[in-house]
Structure 1
Amino acid sequence: MPELAAHIHDFPVNQIREITEAAWGTPGAIVLSIGEPGFELPRHVLEAGMACLDRDETNYTPNAGITALREAFAARFREHNGVEIGAERVYVVDGAQQGLHFAMSLLLSPGDEILIPNPGYPTFAMTSQLLHAKPVRYPLYPEHDFQPRIEDIEALITPQSRVLILNSPSNPLGAVLGGDLTRGLVDLARRHDLWIISDECYEAFTYDVPHVSPARFDSDVPGEARVFTSLTLSKTYGLTGLRIGALVCPPGLERKMNNVMESIVSCVASPSQYAAIAALTGPQDYVSHAHAHYRSNRDAASAVLASKGIPFLSAQGAFYLWADVSHVSGGDVRSWVRTFLADAGVSFAPGTAFGSIGEGWIRIALCGAQAELVEGVGRLPSRG
């Protein structure tokens, strides 16, 4: 058999999937290791996708997506972020992960460096490595509430640095970047002539603080703008399996975007696009209900952790809690979560799935039923 490409041999394992698949194979397990919304989808969203199939509207769409969907994404972006963009800057993608791959394919050449958060979502590193770029992790320290510090990032910038990844609200941390810090990070990218890819998958879910998109501080002049924004409907509307999102690009890149989109996925499936139009333009009850549920679950799980003396980061966004289990994990949290699943029947994502600073920490997903969440978190050993 011919050899696989050399860079695939050392391709990292996604530790989130590793523990979650083990949990799915464990009878009766409480699965708190994966962020999967659990509500029934709104009927009007399902019917829009089914109506597309009934019409046999199953041919290609434009590379960038159906015009009505691009306009709906642009309208939401303008409303939620105060940034005046037109539909021509919106590219419909096959979920946020494909959007990240799309953006990195445009921006990274072999050997280029991309600055990614530590802890940060695993595919930031995985996708850049697939493109022969080098992920360089900038630290998010517990003593600074896991917020990035401009001086820490600036110290890592080299002549090979090309892209800065930002993620707010953060997966896995639930941390949210404030306006002043976001502006400072955009200024940093401008000083060093870096692109920014802003992962905003959880922009609909912040608690008592606003979501601030880096695009708010970007230039609108072609050739000077530098922010790509990755959006998804997977989390906002629970459409994880329909694989639908958007990549908002700086002005002036439309022709290049079309060419790259054609080579990656051509276009997104028509039923998913029509379901997305219905989600974005129809009643928003699902989003408000999900927001209230995640906030209530955050508060309930936080109370259990506090009662056990387990330190955690108070989540301002997304639907995760980041908890310190170093008192029991023995310096190997990846092994500990597997042992805990076998012994206690509960799965958590190990902090090392997200980077070296995650050692001793776990990510707790807040998506499911509150009673199950409280029971699962309640099985954690107290901190003496």
Structure 2
Amino acid sequence: MPQLSAHVRDVPVNQIREITEAAWRTPEAIVLSIGEPGFPLPRHVLEAGIACLERDETNYTPNAGIPALREAFAASFREHKGSVIGADRIYVVDGAQQGLHFAMSLLLSPGDEILIPNPGYPTFAMTSRLLNAVPVGYPLYPAQDFQPRIQDIEALITGRTRVLMLNSPSNPLGAVLGEDLTRDLVELARRHDLWIISDECYESFTYDVPHVSPARFDSDLPGEARVFTSLTLSKTYGLTGLRIGALVCPPGLEQKMNNVMESIVSCVASPSQYAALAALTGPQDYVRDAHAHYRANRDAASAVLKTKGIRFLSAQGAFYLWADVSHVSGGDVRSWTGRFLADSGVALAPGTAFGSIGEGWVRIALCGSQEELVEGLGRLPARPPRDEGQ
């Protein structure tokens, strides 16, 4: 039979899914490898989606989404980001992943380079490869608390570089970009005439530090603005299966955005859009309760790791902990997580799922029950005292 395209054949296995699906096949496994909010959806959100179906509002919507939802996203953006935008810059997308594909489709030609964090979310590289572009990892080192350094990024910029990918709060790290660094990163992109795609999936979950969007430092002028912001309701409201988010675009691109959206999915399902509208404009108890739960789980997990002498990055955002298991992983953390699941019944995401610098580290999801979280981490082998501080 004919072969698949070369860029599809080269897309690597998603190691997060690999270990998680193995865990789902393991009886009574404790699954700490995937970021899936576990709370029941608010009733008013469910009822809004059901009402849409009951009134048979199931036809096409505009490419960019229903007007009321676009305005709700814009209002939320204005309130939380400190950036004044209109609904005309909001495009409702089929979840954050489709938003990232949408943005990269607009910005990357075959052979173009996109700078992505290492460690960073796997689909940053996977999606760009599907577009025949070249992902180039910029390093996030333990010695710098996994924060990017301007000089490291600037050294990687070539004549083929088109896009700088940012992610704060970070998946997998839980790291948050501060205001000064965010401003400097936007200035770096301006200096080298790069686009920015800012993945802000976890914007609602920061702990004792603010979330700062790169859009705050972008120009509002057509032809000078350069920041695309990817938003989702999957994490904020637990709407992972409804596939709903938004892509905020620079001004002046409306017709191009419509053309590309039409060629990818045409429009998002209307029940998901009405559920999203209810989530954004209705009571926010879910978000407050989720924030408190994730923070408490972060603190409980941190306490367990400390008692075992295991080094970890103190998460300032998202709902993950990034922990160093190099004392047991033997230089192959992907294989070790498979053995740990088989031996202990606990699934952790291997750090190499997120890039080469993730070797020896694991990502721990904090979104489930605290009881299971503490029990699962309690099965980790402690670091011998002589290894502490290495």
Q: TM-score band, normalised by the shorter chain?
A: over 0.9
Where 1:159 maps in the other structure, the secondary structure is coil
AA aligned to 1:186 is V
AA aligned to 1:260 is V
AA aligned to 1:148 is P
Q: Which residue of 1 aligns with 2:62?
A: 62
Q: Determine the C-alpha separation between the residues in 1 that align with 2:13 and 2:382.
A: 30
Q: CA deviation at 1:316?
A: 0.0
Q: Which residue of 1 aligns with 2:332?
A: 332
Whether 1:296 aligns to 2:296 is yes
Q: Which residue of 1 aligns with 2:388?
A: none
Question: Can you list the C-alpha shifts for 1:316-340, whole angstroms capped at 9, x where unaligned?
Answer: 0000000000000000000000000
* 1:234-253 paired onto structure 2 within 5 Å: 234-253=234-253
Q: CA deviation at 1:10?
A: 1.7
Q: Which residue of 1 aligns with 2:267?
A: 267
Calculate the TM-score normalised by the size of structure 1.
1.00
Q: Which residue of 2 aligns with 1:320?
A: 320
Q: Determine the C-alpha separation between the residues in 1 that align with 2:12 and 2:200.
A: 24
Q: Which residue of 1 aligns with 2:132?
A: 132
Q: Which residue of 2 aligns with 1:310?
A: 310
Where 1:363 maps in the other structure, the secondary structure is strand
Q: Determine the C-alpha separation between the residues in 2 that align with 1:90 and 1:329.
A: 44
* 1:163-242 paired onto structure 2 within 5 Å: 163-242=163-242
Q: Determine the C-alpha separation between the residues in 2 that align with 1:311 and 1:229.
A: 32
Q: CA deviation at 1:2?
A: 1.4
Question: Can you list the C-alpha shifts for 1:170-201, whole angstroms capped at 9, x where unaligned?
Answer: 00000000000000000000000000000000
Q: Which residue of 1 aligns with 2:387?
A: none
Question: Can you list the C-alpha shifts for 1:48-94, whole angstroms capped at 9, x where unaligned?
Answer: 00000000000000000000000000000000011000000000000
Structure 2: state its 5+ residue gaps.
385-390
Q: Which residue of 2 aligns with 1:89?
A: 89
Q: CA deviation at 1:136?
A: 0.3
Q: CA deviation at 1:8?
A: 1.7
Q: CA deviation at 1:356?
A: 0.2
Q: Which residue of 2 aligns with 1:25?
A: 25
Q: Percent identity?
A: 86
Q: Determine the C-alpha separation between the residues in 2 that align with 1:232 and 1:306.
A: 33
AA aligned to 1:104 is M
Q: Which residue of 1 aligns with 2:74?
A: 74
Whether 1:354 aligns to 2:350 is no
Q: CA deviation at 1:7?
A: 1.6
Where 1:163 maps in the other structure, the secondary structure is strand
Where 1:40 maps in the other structure, the secondary structure is coil
Q: Determine the C-alpha separation between the residues in 2 that align with 1:333 and 1:137.
A: 19
Q: Determine the C-alpha separation between the residues in 2 that align with 1:188 and 1:157.
A: 10
Q: Which residue of 2 aligns with 1:112?
A: 112
Question: Can you list the C-alpha shifts for 1:350-371, whole angstroms capped at 9, x where unaligned?
Answer: 0000000000000000000000
Q: Determine the C-alpha separation between the residues in 1 that align with 2:307 and 2:28.
A: 25
Q: CA deviation at 1:293?
A: 0.1
AA aligned to 1:27 is P
Q: Determine the C-alpha separation between the residues in 2 that align with 1:104 and 1:301.
A: 36
AA aligned to 2:217 is F
Where 1:234 maps in the other structure, the secondary structure is coil
Q: Determine the C-alpha separation between the residues in 2 that align with 1:11 and 1:127.
A: 9
Q: Determine the C-alpha separation between the residues in 2 that align with 1:153 and 1:7.
A: 25
AA aligned to 1:53 is L
Q: Determine the C-alpha separation between the residues in 1 that align with 2:9 and 2:258.
A: 32
Q: CA deviation at 1:11?
A: 1.2
Q: Determine the C-alpha separation between the residues in 2 that align with 1:8 and 1:41.
A: 36
Return structure 1 stretches of 4+ with deviation > 3 angstroms.
Answer: none
Question: Can you list the C-alpha shifts for 1:93-146, whole angstroms capped at 9, x where unaligned?
Answer: 000000000000000000000000000000000000000000000000000000
Q: Determine the C-alpha separation between the residues in 2 that align with 1:135 and 1:17.
A: 21
Q: CA deviation at 1:348?
A: 0.3
Q: CA deviation at 1:3?
A: 1.2
**Aligned residue-pair number:** 384
AA aligned to 1:203 is E
Q: Determine the C-alpha separation between the residues in 1 that align with 2:119 and 2:247.
A: 23
Calculate the TM-score normalised by the size of structure 2.
0.98
Q: Determine the C-alpha separation between the residues in 2 that align with 1:377 and 1:173.
A: 17
RMSD: 0.3
Q: Which residue of 2 aligns with 1:364?
A: 364
Q: Determine the C-alpha separation between the residues in 1 that align with 2:121 and 2:73.
A: 24
Q: CA deviation at 1:226?
A: 0.0
